[in-house]
């Protein structure tokens, strides 16, 4: 009996040892910075210098300001819109790669989806700005057809292009990996029972891939919610999002404590979204799938 207990404890200790670097990483680069932000949010700025304190002034100032809530809900709305657009645009591509092509073609598609990340997101966003400006390539084509020019930057459309540049390839990959593991026997059974291709997608494939689809959408929201480059370069910073607000607050008097309040609110929002997505994905329907 003692020998059996020793053998049982050995794999457990082995797993703990190899899991320790991940724990240290999370504590050092997530928990500790988040705790520091929470602490700094109670500090004050005196003569343009951050002074350690325990004051609710920054929280009271921001949470009672109408402009903060306008920016907060706008950022949430933009993130939801980006997640919805990315999910809808990604699904046909992921479905095609998962069900309609050979394995070699699928891996080629995965490689092509990874290729954009060989270039900086900032460079890709600048490229879109050049393409979408009034004298850019897209409006040049519209002008040749006798249309336009259409405003495509410094507005919501430009912001969404920036968000999709960031999240769309990742969402396609996450959806693809989820769809690739759908049981083909279920799909064949649905076809044998007379289900059309569209009905099979909605009643068999999407429920079976629910976890991956939900997590892909949540991942898109998380990236879009905290993005600064897209709404700045393509959206024109007007109206601002929370990431832009943080920079504006820091620039105006180096008010790091007030910026910390915004950052903490963003972190709390993302944690709530993450847990909500996990609960929805791994709920009763997710367990059946």
Q: Taking Cα atoms as reference points, which of 113, 71, 114 lies closest to residue 249?
A: 71
pLDDT tens by residue, 219-261: 999 999 999 999 999 999 889 999 999 999 888 777 899 999 9
Question: How far, in Å, CA of 266 to CA of 259, rounded?
Answer: 11
The three-point CA angle 118-121-124 to 5° equals: 90
Determine the Cα–Cα distance for residues 18 and 280; give it in Å rounded to an integer: 30
Q: What is the pLDDT, as a whole number, of residue 289?
A: 39
φ, ψ of residue 61 to 5 degrees: the values are: -65, -50
Distance CA 178, CA 19 (A): 25
Regarding pTM above 0.95, the answer is no
In contact, 245 and 70? CB cutoff 8 Å: no
**Residue 267 corresponds to which tokens in the numbers above?**
């972190």
Cβ-proximal residues to 7 (8 Å cutoff; 6+ apart), any chain = none
**CA dist., res. 174 & res. 97, Å (int):** 12
Residue 280 covered by a domain: yes
Convert 112-149 to b/e letters by CB count within 10 Å (16 or more is b): ebeeeeeeebeebbeebbeebbeebebbeeeeeeeeee
Tell me the residue range of the domain where 92 lies.
Answer: 66-288
User: Which residues does the chain have with pLDDT short of 50?
Assistant: 1, 285-289
One-character DSSP codes across 141-172: HHHHTT------SSSHHHHHHHHHHHHHHHHH
Asked whether residue 26 is domain-assigned, the answer is no
Kindly state whether residue 191 falls inside one of the protein's structural domains. Answer: yes
> What span, in angstroms and rounded, lies between the C-alpha atoms of 89 and 92?
7
With beta carbons less than 8 A apart as the criterion, state whether 149 and 229 touch: no
Task: Indicate whether 119 belongs to any domain.
Answer: yes
Q: Which pLDDT belongs to residue 9?
A: 56
Assigned domain for 51 exists: no
Residue 282 maps to a domain: yes
**222: which strand partners?**
none
Distance CA 40, CA 137 (A): 46
The encoded tokens of residue 239 equal: 């109206």
Which CATH number does the domain housing residue 123 bear? 1.10.3720.10
Instruction: Tell me how far apart the alpha carbons of residues 227 and 223 are, in angstroms, rounded to a whole number.
Output: 6
Place of tokens 């809900």: 73
- In a domain, residue 163? The reply is yes
The reply to whether 160 falls in a domain is yes
Q: What is the token pair recorded at 138?
A: 């897209």
**Number of domains forming the structure of the chain:** 1
Cα–Cα distance measured from residue 109 to residue 113, given in angstroms and rounded to the nearest whole number: 6
């Amino acid at each position: 009996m003692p020998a059996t207990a020793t053998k049982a404890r050995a794999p457990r200790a082995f797993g703990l040892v190899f899991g320790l670097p991940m724990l240290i990483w999370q504590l050092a680069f997530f928990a500790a910075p988040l705790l520091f932000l929470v602490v700094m949010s109670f500090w004050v700025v005196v003569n343009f210098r951050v002074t350690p304190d325990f004051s609710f002034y920054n929280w009271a100032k921001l949470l009672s300001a109408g402009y903060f809530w306008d920016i907060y809900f706008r950022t949430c709305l933009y993130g939801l819109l980006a997640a919805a657009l990315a999910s809808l645009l990604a699904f046909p591509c992921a479905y095609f790669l998962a069900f309609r092509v050979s394995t070699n073609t699928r891996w080629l598609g995965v490689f092509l989806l990874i290729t954009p990340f060989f270039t900086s997101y900032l460079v890709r966003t600048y490229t879109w700005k050049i393409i979408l400006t009034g004298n850019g390539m897209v409006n040049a084509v519209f002008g040749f057809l006798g249309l336009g020019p259409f405003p495509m930057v410094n507005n919501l459309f430009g912001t969404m292009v920036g968000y999709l540049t960031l999240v769309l390839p990742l969402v396609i990959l996450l959806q693809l990996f989820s769809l690739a593991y759908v049981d083909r026997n279920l799909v064949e059974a649905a076809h044998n029972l007379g289900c059309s291709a569209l009905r099979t997608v909605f009643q068999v494939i999407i429920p079976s891939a629910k976890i991956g689809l939900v997590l892909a959408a949540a991942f898109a929201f998380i990236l879009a919610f905290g993005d600064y480059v897209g709404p700045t370069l393509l959206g024109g910073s007007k109206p601002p999002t929370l990431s832009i607000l943080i920079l504006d607050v820091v620039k105006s008097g180096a008010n790091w404590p007030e910026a910390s309040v915004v950052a903490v609110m963003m972190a709390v929002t993302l944690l709530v979204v993450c847990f909500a997505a996990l609960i929805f994905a791994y709920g009763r329907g997710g367990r059946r799938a």
